[in-house]
Structure 1
Amino acid sequence: MEITEFRQRLEERGFSLSQTQLDQFEHYYHTLVEWNEKMNLTAITDKEGVYLKHFYDSLTAAFYVDFTKVATVVDVGAGAGFPSIPLKIVFPELRVTIVDSLKKRIGFLEHLSETLGLKGTAFYHDRAETFAQKKEHREQYDLVLARAVARLPVLSELCLPLAKVEGTFVAMKGAGANEELTAAQGALKKLGGSVIQNEQFTLPIEESERHVIIIRKERSTPKKYPRKPGTPNKQPLS
């Protein structure tokens, strides 16, 4: 995706980017490629691929969620900052927290945030299972985001404990999302969540299937969740 098309497609969705925001995306791209030579951040490094499969794809969450009505966001397993950093660029008032299990990635994100001049960002090197059990983070966020981290039964256990009651968990998924959603029904019930939307669409140009699954936190998550690190993945809730 060329930058011109990136801007135009976002304008069609009602998001007009300033020159400053376009420059931030450019700096993001160049910083990503530079650091990727030293550590494995992404297999996609061509400019058109990054703009389509990382930047634009991250922003598709905003097609279905009104981020102007969201104050605090936590991104679980953001890797190189997707989807929360592109969303932060477009919605600078967001207070964004990122938790990732790899310290090197957190180092990259801290550098990136400083380079882009982002305010209201916080980065934590931690396992999602332990992070969600800390009282200063548990049930403290308006919205929890995750993109391609784990299957939904596992992901729900890592993410829903961080959402406030009446908050939202947004899972960004590809093909196979409907099957994951069916498998996650038992987990969602135990964790206090309920699916309110499953938006299916096609990513432009490559025409690949995408889903934005929006889950409402209806009641407090039992304190035993998430379980110890590694357990959710080995023994998914059913």
Structure 2
Amino acid sequence: MNIDTFINKLEEKGIMLSDKQIQQFQTYYQTLVEWNEKINLTAITEETEVYLKHFYDSITASFYIDFTQSLSICDVGAGAGFPSIPLKICFPHLNVTIVDSLKKRITFLNHLAEKLDLSGVAFYHDRAELFAQNSNFRHQYDLVLARAVAKMTVLSELCLPLVRTGGKFVAMKGPNAELELKEADAAIELLGGVLNNLYSFHLPNDQGERHIVCIDKKKKTPKRYPRKPGTPAKSPLT
């Protein structure tokens, strides 16, 4: 997907990029490639692939979730900033928090935010399990996002505690989303969530099946969750 196709595909979805936003995506790509030579941020570095499989793929969440309103968003395990930074470029009014366990990635994100002249962003170097037990962040966000981080059983325990009651947890998944949801059904309920919708689509040019899992937060998560670092992955809730 070249830049022109990227712009046109977003226009088809009602997202009109300004010259500044187009330049921000170009700077994002250049900065990503430069830093990827120093630290491992992504295995995808070819420009057309980045625009499709990172930038466009990240923005697909907005095709099903309303990002036009003012939202506080937490992106868990965003790595090089996906999906929240592409969404932030498209919807500058969003307040974005990213938590990631690798300090080098947080250093990259701080540099990236400066290069892109982003405001309303905050980056935290922390384990998601500890971050979600911090009273400053727990039950605080309108929307919590995660993309390609872990299976739904694990993701639900890391993300749902951060969502305020009445907010949403949105997981961006590949082709196994339905199976993962079945496995995570009891965990989602235990953690205070309920499935709102599962959206399915394919990336342009048949570049992969995608799912957007949308979970509503109906009640506060019990205090004991998430459990200590590493436990959710080693012993997923069933």
TM-score, L = length of structure 1? 0.99
SS at match of 2:157: helix
Equivalent residue letter for 1:160: L
Cα distance between partner residues in 2 of 1:209 and 1:132: 30
What are the superposed Cα offsets for residues 20-77 of structure 1, whole Å, 9 maximum, x if unpaired? 0000000000000000000100000000000000000000000000011242000000
Aligned equivalent of 1:14: 14
Cα distance between partner residues in 1 of 2:207 and 2:120: 34
Q: Say whether residues 1:191 and 2:191 are aligned partners.
A: yes
Aligned equivalent of 1:35: 35
Q: 1:186 offset after TM fit, Å?
A: 0.7
Identity %: 63
Aligned equivalent of 1:138: 138
Cα distance between partner residues in 2 of 1:205 and 1:228: 42
SS at match of 2:205: coil
Aligned equivalent of 1:117: 117
TM-score, L = length of structure 2? 0.99
Cα distance between partner residues in 1 of 2:37 and 2:207: 29
Aligned equivalent of 1:61: 61
Equivalent residue letter for 2:106: I
Q: How does 1:1-238 map to 2 (within 5 A)?
A: 1-238=1-238
Cα distance between partner residues in 2 of 1:225 and 1:32: 34
Cα distance between partner residues in 2 of 1:170 and 1:232: 18
Equivalent residue letter for 2:186: G
Name the count of aligned residue pairs. Answer: 238
Cα distance between partner residues in 2 of 1:209 and 1:153: 20
Cα distance between partner residues in 2 of 1:60 and 1:178: 18
Superposed structure 1 runs of 4+ greater than 3 Å apart: none
SS at match of 1:181: helix
Cα distance between partner residues in 2 of 1:207 and 1:228: 37
SS at match of 1:67: coil
What are the superposed Cα offsets for residues 102-133 of structure 1, whole Å, 9 maximum, x if unpaired? 00000000000010000000000000000000
Equivalent residue letter for 1:202: H
SS at match of 2:8: helix
Cα distance between partner residues in 2 of 1:92 and 1:58: 15
Cα distance between partner residues in 2 of 1:217 and 1:201: 24
What are the superposed Cα offsets for residues 124-183 of structure 1, whole Å, 9 maximum, x if unpaired? 000000000000000000000000100000000000000000000000000111100100
Q: 1:210 offset after TM fit, Å?
A: 0.1
